[in-house]
Amino acid sequence: MVSRMKILTLFLIIAALGIGFGTPSEPQYTDDFLIHMCNFDNQGGNPYFNITPGAFRRLEGIDDVGAFVELEITALDATKDITFQAPNGEIMNVTARVVREKEWEDGALIEVSRNWFARCKATNDVFYFGEFVKIYEDGVVVSNEGSWEAGVDGAQPGVIMPSRYLLGARYMQEVAPTAMDRAKHTQMGLTVTVPAGAFTDCVKVVETTPLEPGSTSVKIYAPGVGLIVDGSLQLVEFQN
pLDDT tens readout for residues 50-100: 999 999 999 999 999 999 999 999 999 999 999 999 999 999 999 999 999
Confidence of residue 27 (pLDDT cuts 50, 70, 90): confident
Looking at residue 17, what is its pLDDT? 42
Q: What is the mean pLDDT of the chain?
A: 91
Give dist(CA 180, CA 210) in Å, integer: 7
The residue segments making up the domain with residue 94 are: 4-239
Give dist(CA 99, CA 38) in Å, integer: 21
Confidence of residue 5 (pLDDT cuts 50, 70, 90): very low
Looking at residue 10, what is its pLDDT? 42
Q: How many separate domains does the chain show?
A: 1
Looking at residue 182, what is its pLDDT? 97
pLDDT at 18 over 60: no
Residues above pLDDT 70, as percent of the chain: 89
Confidence of residue 26 (pLDDT cuts 50, 70, 90): low
Q: Are 146 and 178 in contact (CB under 8 A)?
A: yes
Confidence of residue 25 (pLDDT cuts 50, 70, 90): low
Average pLDDT, stretch 108-123? 97
